Amino acid sequence: MITGYVLGESLRPGAVFAPHGLRIRKVERTDVSASAAAGQPGVWTLVEWEADDDGAAGAVAEALAAALEPALGWYADFTVGDERVVVFAGRVFRYRRGDEAGRAEAVAYGRSVGTPEHQLDWAD
């Protein structure tokens, strides 16, 4: 099973994120005004989703990479089995949970595209 989330505000205007077999688990609005970085909205829409087919992880990652706004270092992440997938606009990182080198590569890329340090905190 694949489980993950995407912030509505992280999607490019006009982008569609609708991979086959994806189900919405929950949609939640959260006030992050105390920790939002410059240029980010103070309220985020968290869309939590899941899919049964682990084999769809690549398609889901590519769909996210195509839909995410490149500004401000937005990313989305999800798990598939014992792997963590971290997706930025145009770039996908996939590593086994607990793999510090794999995580470090994704974090370094996030820093390079402007993801605020305190937002590079996805759980493994």
pLDDT in tens, 23-61: 999 999 999 999 888 899 999 999 999 998 878 999 999
**pLDDT over threshold 80, residue 103:** yes
| Over residues 3-11, mean pLDDT | 95
Q: Has this prediction a pTM greater than 0.85?
A: yes
Q: Is residue 121 part of a domain?
A: no
Q: Is residue 14 part of a domain?
A: yes
Sorting pLDDT into bands at 50, 70 and 90, what band is 20?
confident
Would you tell me how many other CB atoms lie within 10 Å of the CB of residue 19? 18
Q: Is residue 73 part of a domain?
A: yes
Q: Is residue 58 part of a domain?
A: yes
| Percent of the chain residues past pLDDT 90, beyond the cut | 85
> What's the structural domain count of the chain?
1
C-alpha torsion sign, points 61, 62, 66, 67: negative
> 94: closest CA among 66, 122, 52?
122
Parent domain of 11: 2-116
Supply 7's token pair: 């912030």
